[in-house]
Amino acid sequence: MHVLITGGAGFIGSQLAEYHLDRGDKVHVVDDLSTGSKENIEEFAEKPGFHFDEADILTWPGLEKAAAWADRVYHMAAVVGVYRVLAEPIKVLSTNIAGTERLLRAIHAGGWSPQVILASTSEVYGHTEARELREDAPLVIQSGARSRWNYAVSKLADEALGLSYARKHGLQITIVRFCNTIGPRQTGRYGMVLPRFVAQALRGEPLTVYGDGNQTRSFCDVRDTVAALDALASNPASGGEIVNVGNNREISILDLAKLIIRTAESTSKIKKIPYLEAYGEDFEDITHRRPALDKLFGLTDFSHNWTLEETVQDLLDRSRNRVAKVV
């Protein structure tokens, strides 16, 4: 199979590349290395069938050719991460919307219908009251919303574009709402909590819990995520659907910090930091997030292989090995 991965040097994208290379597929990655990194894909450079272009999805001259070549497209290229979203509120909208539009136009022009996975996010659910996030729930974004919501707005536009191309041109496009994906190669640089806590615990520094720590999230290992994406893309019935991809075990951020300290046998303490200090004025956090997964399980025979404890242990082992190699 020919697989095109936009944003393929990011943490989910590079896991997708590894997954398909292991299966003997040909993989073409394009990434502008804005949040992705060369390090994430350097181990694939020697593998037969791997190709990398460093380019911006908005201007990449090879897009039409690559889109026509692909049997499967994962569109992961986007401006992501809370810190980047707050720092670059305009770029989030322009890159995420125009990039998806350009890609879908290229796929349609290619004249046939590859299996397409479009990355969206659980951020689109916003401040819903529901304890479980269902794909068909109405979405509420406040008028005059703060900059954090620009990410959700950009991804909602992407969803609408994807669904419209699917309906109008009969393309097999599946919208995937990622819900707090974690795992190897994820960086804490743009705000993601797991790699930040792991690094802090290993350095014996305080774990920085924002707010009171009672906010909850449901974390899904990226190796489970890519298996779910492959299963979805392989089923034509997923075309034109919006599907949550995540894990439904919910944990508070305070308990997550405790779990990491315990597993790392770290001397770190927990330090609570007010949101204002953590993110500045322009911020509202989500209190709870747990995805409904009936739709994913209905469309695929996917099941999870990784528990949160196993992922945390694996990340600690990997970080320690990396440090040991350098020393």
Alpha carbons 22 and 29: distance in angstroms, whole number = 15
Query: What part of residues 282-321 is at the interface with ligand UDP (CB under 6 A)?
Result: 285
Is the Cβ of residue 52 or residue 178 nearer to ligand UDP in the bound state? 178
Residue window 108-137: x/- pattern of binding to ligand UDP, with contact defined by CB under 6 A: ------------------------------
Question: For ligand UDP, which residue of 20, 177, 217, 295 counts as binding (CB under 6 A)?
Answer: 217
CA distances from 70 to 102, 113, 229, 232 (A): 16, 9, 16, 17
Is the Cβ of residue 72 or residue 196 nearer to ligand UDP in the bound state? 196
C-beta of 193: minimal distance to ligand UDP in Å? 4
Q: Which residues pair with 214 in a beta bridge?
A: none
Query: What part of residues 242-261 is at the interface with ligand UDP (CB under 6 A)?
Result: 253
Question: For ligand UDP, which residue of 6, 100, 172, 180 counts as binding (CB under 6 A)?
Answer: 180
Establish if 191 lies at the interface with ligand UDP (CB under 6 A). Answer: yes
Q: Specify the amino acid at residue 271.
A: K
Is the Cβ of residue 115 or residue 268 nearer to ligand UDP in the bound state? 268
Is the Cβ of residue 176 or residue 192 nearer to ligand UDP in the bound state? 192
Stretch that binds ligand UDP, among 50-58, 92-100, 124-132, 204-212 (CB under 6 A): 204-212
Note whether 60 and 77 are within 8 A (CB). no
Which sign does the torsion angle of CA 187, 188, 193, 198 carry? positive
Burial bucket for residue 257 (CB in 10 Å: 0-12, 13-18, 19+): buried
Establish if 195 lies at the interface with ligand UDP (CB under 6 A). Answer: no
Catalytic residue of the set 74, 125, 151, 279: 151
Supply 106's token pair.
Answer: 């290229």
DSSP 136-201: TS--B--TT--TTHHHHHHHHHHHHHHHHHHHHH--EEEEEEE--EE-TT--STTS-HHHHHHHHH
Establish if 193 lies at the interface with ligand UDP (CB under 6 A). Answer: yes
Which sign does the torsion angle of CA 282, 216, 226, 113 carry? negative
Is the Cβ of residue 208 or residue 235 nearer to ligand UDP in the bound state? 208
Note whether 40 and 185 are within 8 A (CB). yes
Q: Quick check: is 210 catalytic?
A: no
Footprint of ligand UDP (CB under 6 A): 82, 180, 191-193, 196, 208-210, 215, 217, 253, 285
Catalytic residues, by residue number, are 151
